[in-house]
Amino acid sequence: IYMPDFKYNVPERGERYSKVIDYPEKARLALKEMDQQVNGLKVDGKGVAYKGLLIRHLVLPGGLEDTKEVLKFIKEELSPDCLVNLMNQYRPCHKAFEYKEIAKGLSFMEYKQAYDYAKELGLKLA
């Protein structure tokens, strides 16, 4: 079972927060390859996953548009059986305080808007 994180769809965010050039392009290629190998998430008769792809995405404060692009990519480019874990537990720590836009917690409304958008797209949520 693959369980990758897809952090950002905006290249500047990957460079700014993770010091990675072309993060979205690399992440998308890796996710497509994983999905091609396993074709979504497979569960047995008891609902236990035994093969597949579960994509984790941490919603960041002020990052709703980026999150929407991540979710849209999953919907449009990957198997409809992929499971998405839309995470809301962001808490700033360490170097996050160097960036005003993420030096705060995620609001309930920001997460709700991301969650509602994922549901609107018809994604399978964990």
pLDDT at position 26, please? 96
Q: What is the pTM of this model?
A: 0.93
Sheet with 54-58, edge to edge strand ranges: 54-58, 83-87, 124-125
Instruction: Determine whether 39 is exposed, middle or buried from the number of CB atoms within 10 Å of its CB (0-12, 13-18, 19+).
Output: middle
Instruction: Determine whether 54 is exposed, middle or buried from the number of CB atoms within 10 Å of its CB (0-12, 13-18, 19+).
Output: middle
Banded pLDDT at 110 (limits 50, 70, 90):
very high
Domain boundaries, the chain: 11-125
Instruction: Determine whether 100 is exposed, middle or buried from the number of CB atoms within 10 Å of its CB (0-12, 13-18, 19+).
Output: exposed
CA contacts within 13 A on the Cβ side of 61: 16
Q: Give pLDDT tens digits for 58-108.
A: 999 999 999 999 999 999 999 999 999 999 999 999 999 999 999 999 999
Q: Give pLDDT tens digits for 16-58.
A: 999 999 999 999 999 999 999 999 899 999 989 999 999 999 9
CA distance 64 to 86: 12
Contact 56, 3 (CB under 8 A): yes
**DSSP-assigned letter for residue 123:** P
Both tokens assigned to 17 = 């927060």
